[in-house]
Structure 1
Amino acid sequence: MRGLRERMAGLVADTRPLRNEHFRRLWLANIITVVGAQLTVVAVPAQIYDVTGSSAYVGLTGLFGLVPLIVFGLWGGALADVFDRRTMLMITTSGLIGTSALFWLQAAMGNTNVWLLLGLFAVQQAFFAVNQPTRAAILPRLLTPDLLPAANSLSMTVFQAGAIGGPLVAGVLIPILGYQWLYLVDTITLFATLGAVVRLPRLPVEGPTTSPGLRSVLEGFRYLGGHPVLLMSFVVDLIAMIFGMPRALFPEIAHVSFGGPDEGGLVFALLFAAIPTGAVLGGVFSGWVSRVDRQGYAVIVCILVWGAAMTGFGVAVALADYRGMLLVALLMLVIGGAADMASAAFRTSMLQSAAADSVRGRLQGVFVVVVAGGPRIADVVHGTSAAMVGTAAAAAGGGVLVVVGTVVAAIAVPSFVRYRLSRTTTIAR
């Protein structure tokens, strides 16, 4: 019985990073903040549709969100490699509080100008794009390399849990409280993160710095090009997301394949919730990630599991007329979500531990761009493919391409597969 308990304890999330007071405060604050953030994620498109009655205007949030993420994600990474990162986090968190407060103000005043909404959204995404690479770049200064996978898993679990619960809560509260109260909750909860950031130690960049302009951004790309292991962490993620993320097919699959109503419904909601549910489950049972030294090999295995799961999802959709296929399809998405969470934890940890501190911010900026851009490209690829070959073939075929592309990438750059964790670093106090 004792042996069984020990094995189960080894499966549950590794909480050792929480012993570090700085990480613990940031993580606990993130639990509070993610609730408000997800309320805003739902409230913005809902208010835009309420104001305009047009899905086309809602679709513009993709453009107004992606462009700042790309521009300020790359530039923000350069800023994080020059200035004290604690200071950068204080500025960007304050900026997020300010934009959230402005969302509240415009909603409370009954704003009907969609361009004001979209403009505020773009500014908010710009602050977010600078904040995220800075936040990721500080973890190797707070924790030893062997704790980074566990720390990233804990952080991703909170985010994914918010991605499930936030939309459900917002959908219930909007008709009752209105948009302004959701924005106000977001504004108030962000102060928890600001309080955690203020209590961080000073975190100046270790190593040489340059001015945070275009030249600095290009130097980051040159550094990336000279380190195949780091470059491959982006390549395999793009392969997984572009070919394997079928979310653009969910509305049609829910309606046509599984008989849901054309305006959404339960099946539609379950399909969208399945991948983040898998990510949360993967995070809860992520105790094993801290014991893995061969992180490159682990990433390849995780992405192969993701590709196989998306292939299985497509097959289940093709066999939708048979009883129980909806459960099979959802199970495949859950498995894929768990694999993707583990892959992301390892890839983030590799970027944090294998890169020099003087370029960590810029590489994390590229990471933000890839994470944001890959699924959006996937939406176009899958939507176009489904129009030609159908949703089932597009989903299953995409999964197969993930497997093939990942195997080719692993063969082409064997150093990535051989990459092992180094367990030494300097910790900030």
Structure 2
Amino acid sequence: MLPDLSPWRASRDFRLLWTAGLITVFGSFLTFVALPLQLKELTGSAAAVGALGAVELVPLIVFGLYGGALADAVDRRRLILWSEAALGAVAAGLLLNTLLPHPLVWPLYGAAAVTSALTGIQRPALDAIVPRIVAHDQLSAAAALNALRWQVGGVAGPALAGLLIAYAGLETAYAIDVATFAFSVLLSRGLAPSPAAHDAQKPSWSGILEGARYAWGRKELLGTYAVDVAAMLFAFPIALFPFMADQLEAEWSLGLMYAALPFGSMLVSATSGWSARVHRHGRAVVLAALGWGVSMTAAGFAGNVWLVLLCLTLSGAFDMVSGIFRTTMWNQTIPDELRGRLAGIELLSFSAGPQLGQVRSGGVASLTSVRASVWSGGLACVAAVGLLAVTLPKLMSYDARTSEHARAVRLSRVGTGGAGGEGPRS
């Protein structure tokens, strides 16, 4: 049941990347809570908070696809480093705006859009570098450990954010975020270079289309994208958490609501040793997405704040199960020369869905009610995922032991000596 620490022990670069990510994700979750809360205080509108998702969506689509092509064409380590520094500069801009006598609303939307663009550039490189520094048979363990890193920050960050904002103000949360980015950049400088292949194409639309055609031809991969988008589109109501806390007369619970999802995910990651013994990854993704929808439905109907927190924790646990097996399928079956471009498509699947989910939840809440938006989204998620399971038989029948794509990637890594070793220091 304990997590498999093999990637941590075997790969120095994985340790560096994991530690840098833990530091920066902690600060990012402070801003994750502070930004919508500040927007709520300045506007008092659920639709205005939900519109953050719409503002983030277009940059994510454009730069996610371009970032994927870029990750296949340039040194992935350098791309990670410079985008991390730019994200720190955006956090500094939020801090400066908050220090104004009368903070402005438009910089909040601007920061959200630029952060989304930079995430679109960086995240494919972060995902694509992992199969290079981790052994093929350790990729499930690496997925669980990387998720655990996000979850530790996701639990501690929002919980601390509530206290910091209440007692020290929004500016303190933003200042800590800036500091964490500075530490992360220093650590990332120690990563070994990860250059593109000698025959790599320059970033182009034709290269992006090549990755899209590959994804379209792999219906089991297409299914993982579709299931995740459906789950997040219909049942990702975090834009409503400030309003749910008010309606439950438990303003103190806002930080806990944000922390409940990553806490549930962390419980799964911390007991993820079993995941290496699961081979029907597509079926696990579908069952976990159904569990996510049922839990969100229950959260919408629950009238007690502790029941809501319990349902959100269960939702996070199901999301982690889905995430482990989606990531394992991607990393074990996608060729290295396409890894960046496919990582860009993956980024859209697990990031565009939440952005659209915020828009949907805020819009439905403005037309009906906050609670109705939550439970109706959960029911819609269950229906959509069930329909996808019926229409995508290759996803349900996928087995890592018999997949020709997993076998081809495994053999290619053996042929090139890719075992995720230490690598030289830069």
TM-score (normalizing by structure 1):
0.81
SS at match of 2:353: helix
C-alpha distance 48-249 of structure 1, shift in aligned 2 (>3 A) = closer
Alignment of 1:218-297 (within 5 A): 218-247=209-238, 260-261=248-249, 265-266=251-252, 270-297=256-283
Is 1:94 the counterpart of 2:85 in the alignment? yes
1:366 to 345, 351, 372: 345
2:172 & 2:361 partners in 1: Cα distance? Answer: 36
Is 1:427 aligned to 2:388, yes or no? Answer: no
The 1:190/1:385 distance shift into structure 2, 3 A limit, reads closer
**Which of the numbers 328, 331, 340 marks the counterpart of 1:352?**
331
Aligned to 1:4: none
Q: How far apart in 2 are the matches of 1:132 and 1:278? A: 23
SS in 2 for 1:81: helix
Q: Which runs of 5+ in 2 are unaligned?
A: 401-405
Post-superposition CA distance 1:340-363 (Å, at most 9, x none): 111012112212221122222222
Contact 1:73–1:129 (8 Å) recurs in 2: yes
Q: 1:25 pairs with 16, 40, 62, which one?
A: 16
Alpha-carbon separation, structure 1, partners of 2:101 and 2:317: 42
Question: Which amino acid in 1 is paired with 2:78?
Answer: T
Distance 2:373 2:115 in 1: 34
Residue type of the partner of 2:160? V
Residue 67 of structure 1 corresponds to which residue in structure 2? 58
2:139 maps to 148
In 1, the alpha carbon distance for the partners of 2:118 and 2:76 equals 14
Aligned to 1:77: 68
CA contact (8 A) 1:297 1:416 kept: yes
Residue 124 of structure 2 aligns to a residue whose secondary structure is: helix
Q: Distance in 2 between matches of 1:312 and 1:106?
A: 38
**Partner amino acid, structure 1, of 2:318:** A
**1:141 Cα offset (Å):** 0.7
Identity %, equivalent residues: 36
- Write the distance in 2 (CA, Å) between the matches of 1:370 and 1:202: 28
For 2:242 and 2:108, the matched residues in 1 are separated by: 26
Name the residue aligned to 1:13: 3
Instruction: Specify whether residues 167 and 210 from structure 1 end up closer, same or farther in structure 2 by C-alpha distance, changes over 3 A only.
Output: same
C-alpha spacing 1:380/1:116, structure 2 compared with 1 (3 Å): closer
Residue 295 of structure 2 is aligned to residue 309 of structure 1:
yes
Change (3 A) 1:373 1:398: same
Contact kept in structure 2, 1:274 and 1:330, CA below 8 Å: yes
Q: After superposition, where does 1:103-252 map in structure 2 within 5 Å?
A: 103-105=94-96, 107=98, 112-174=103-165, 176-206=167-197, 208-247=199-238
Q: Which residue of 2 aligns with 1:411?
A: 390
Tell me the distance in 1 between the aligned counterparts of 2:191 and 2:85: 15
Q: Is the 8 A contact 1:38 1:163 kept in 2?
A: yes
Q: How far 1:69 sits from its partner (Å)?
A: 1.9
CA contact (8 A) 1:153 1:342 kept: no
Native 8 Å contact 1:22 1:196 kept in 2: no
SS at match of 2:419: coil
**Whole-Å Cα distance in 1 between the matches of residues 361 and 37 of structure 2?**
25
Q: SS in structure 2 opposite 1:415?
A: helix
Give the Cα separation in 1 of the matches to 2:86 and 2:362. Answer: 36
Judge conservation of contact 1:208–1:358 (CA < 8 Å) in 2. no
Give the superposition deviation at 1:142: 1.0
The separation in 1 between residues aligned to 2:195 and 2:323, in whole angstroms, is: 26
CA distance in 2, matches of 1:312, 1:94: 41
Cα distance in 1 for partners of 2:355, 2:129 equals: 28
Q: CA deviation at 1:228?
A: 0.9
Distance 2:119 2:233 in 1: 23
1:189 aligns to what SS in structure 2?
A: helix
Structure 1 residues 385 and 27: alpha-carbon distance in aligned structure 2, compared to 1, 3 A threshold: same
Candidates 333, 344, 367, aligned match of 2:312:
333
Deviates more, 1:398-407 or 1:212-221: 398-407
Q: Deviations over 1:38-87 (max 9, x none)?
A: 2233444455566x556476555444433322221121111111111112
Deviations 1:186-234 (Å, cap 9, x if unpaired)? 2332233223332222222348533313333233222211111111110
Question: Could you give the per-residue CA deviations for residues 214-265 of structure 1, whole angstroms, max 9, x where no partner exists?
Answer: 3332332222111111111101112222233344565666566xxx23xx62
Q: Rate the CA distance shift 1:41–1:16 in 2: closer, same or farther, 3 A.
A: same
8 Å CA contact 1:85, 1:204 repeated in 2: yes
Q: Is the 8 A contact 2:52 2:355 kept in 1?
A: no
The AA in structure 2 aligned to 1:306 is W
Structure 2 counterpart of 1:368, which letter? L
Aligned length: 406
Once the two structures are superposed, what CA deviation does each residue of 1:323-349 show, in whole Å capped at 9, x if it has no partner?
Answer: xx6554443332221011110121122
Identify if the C-alpha distance between structure 1 residues 427 and 404 changes in structure 2 by more than 3 Å, giving closer, same or farther: same
> Secondary structure, in 3 states, of the residue corresponding to 1:348?
helix
Contact preservation (8 Å) 1:206, 1:357: no
Taking a change above 3 Å as real, the CA distance of residues 84 and 330 of structure 1, as seen in their structure-2 partners, is same
Query: Would the alpha carbon gap of residues 54 and 31 (structure 1) be closer, same or farther in structure 2, given more than 3 Å must change?
Result: same
Comparing 267-276 and 352-361, the one that deviates more: 267-276
| Matched AA of 1:154 | L
Distance 1:383 1:24, change over 3 A: same
Cα distance in 2 between the residues matched to 1:401 and 1:94: 39
Amino acid at match of 1:416: L
Find the aligned partners of 2:339 and 2:376 in 1 and give their Cα distance: 35
Separation in 1, partners of 2:13, 2:381: 38
* Displacement after TM superposition at 1:420 (Å): 2.9
Change (3 A) 1:357 1:59: same
Structure 2 distance, partners of 1:331, 1:402, is 19
One-letter amino acid of the structure 1 residue matched with residue 345 of structure 2: V
Q: RMSD over aligned Cα, in angstroms? A: 3.2
TM-score (structure 2 length as normaliser): 0.82
